[in-house]
Amino acid sequence: MHETAIAQSIIDTVMTHADKAGAKHVDKVEIEIGELTFLGIDQIRFWIENQIAGTVAEKAEWIFHSVPGGIRCPACQYEGDIKTAETEDHFRLPVFACPECGQANIEITQGRDAWIKAIHVEID
């Protein structure tokens, strides 16, 4: 479960930032998670909320933004969202091929990163 490690890394970064800023408390944290990371936002939120009790981030608003997968095809110049297909088990998985020409040699342009977009703190 790599969500636990990601959540802990987010908490460590937020707490380090708050400490360096001399924060009285953390007001809001904005996080962007790409769909192609296959990270579960609900699981990350759960781990964060269970680990920040008693800290300056305890009452922070945690905002998660999902970033869709995007591709570029050098063969036909398609640029846009990556398409998905439903499996027999009703999971939706990305199709790593151009939806226009079927070329498998594509470039992923977005959706494979996770980062903290903003940390808002209140200082004395």
Q: Does one domain contain both 15 and 60?
A: yes
CATH number at residue 25: 3.30.2320.50
Q: Does one domain contain both 64 and 22?
A: yes
Burial of 112 (0-12, 13-18, 19+ CB in 10 A): middle
Q: Give the residue numbers spanning the domain of 63.
A: 2-68+111-123
pLDDT at 23: 95
Domain count, the chain: 2
First to last CA, the chain: 38
Across the chain, which has 124 residues, the per-10-residue mean pLDDT values are 90 97 96 95 95 96 96 97 89 91 96 96 88
Residue bearing tokens 């591709």: 71
pTM, rounded to two decimals = 0.83
Strands (E), 10-91: 23-34, 61-67, 70-72, 79-81, 84-86
Q: Does one domain contain both 50 and 104?
A: no
Q: Does one domain contain both 75 and 34?
A: no
Q: Does one domain contain both 16 and 36?
A: yes
pLDDT at 89: 86
Q: Does one domain contain both 7 and 47?
A: yes
Q: Burial code of 34-73, b = ≥16 C-beta within 10 A, e = fewer? A: bbbbebebeebeebbeebbeeebbeebebebeebebbbeb
Q: Does one domain contain both 10 and 63?
A: yes
Instruction: Give the whole-angstrom CA distance, residue 5 versus residue 85.
Output: 29
Q: Does one domain contain both 24 and 81?
A: no
pLDDT at 91: 83
Q: How many CA atoms lie within 13 A of 7 on its CB side?
A: 19
Q: Does one domain contain both 12 and 60?
A: yes
pLDDT at 94: 92
Q: Does one domain contain both 63 and 81?
A: no
